[in-house]
Amino acid sequence: AKMGRTVVELFYDVVSPYSWLGFEVLCRYQHIWNIDLRFRPAFLGGIMQATGNKPPATLPKRAEYMLKDIKRMAKYYQVPVQISEGDFQRILCTSSLGAMRFITAIDMTQPRYLEPLSREFWIRFWSQCEDISQPENILAVAGQAGLSSEVAQKLLEMISTPAVKNQLKETTEEAIKYGAFGMPAVVAHFNGEPHLFFGSDRLELLGSVIGE
């Protein structure tokens, strides 16, 4: 078992700033720890609905804390998340469904672009405050990630297909089965069982559980 790599799945949605933090930290750890990191694009809206969870910022005191918390974590982990009070409203008004279907389509067709594409979506939404629900912005993100406009256009057409919709739905349901109620949800498969870690501030704990 020592030789085998621990499979670590990261369920994420680009509308979640904590998902970005967790994503970047795990991207760094995958070169240090003996893990096989798997990116699992899922839909946060679906998880919230299925579990009856509410956006954390709907509690004023928590929103106040989150502003400071995300800024501190962004600085500590050197991830360019920009956040201000108005962003909470912006998140509630933005559907990430199209973006997550687009990311799912790339995962199904050209997975080598999954990491850079996901990162570009976060940069656009969280560093540049752009609306990632608009098709032209989705195409712009794809261009930044190194995809040709021809391929990007094909992927955009794929997001309305049953294959892509079902894949995203299945991944989201899988996260819920593991016990996810929000994002990021990190699942480490260790000693024959799945261990769920919620959030981007439990990654040292994850390391300790899997013997890193």
Distance CA 168, CA 172 (A): 6
Q: Are strands 193-198 and 185-190 parallel, antiparallel or unpaired?
A: antiparallel
16 an active-site residue?
yes
Contacts (Cβ under 8 Å, ≥6 apart) of 167: 104, 107, 108
Distance CA 120, CA 177 (A): 29
Q: Which of 16, 19, 118, 200 is catalytic?
A: 16
- Report which DSSP code applies to 127: I
Distance CA 90, CA 111 (A): 29
Distance CA 76, CA 36 (A): 25
CB burial of 26-63 (b: ≥16 within 10 Å; e: otherwise) equals: beebbeebebebebbbbbbebbbeeeeeeeebeeeeee
> Residue 48's Cα: distance from chain center in Å?
14
CA dist list (Å): 156 to 13, 15, 16, 56: 18, 18, 22, 31
Query: Would you name the residues annotated as active-site residues?
Result: 16
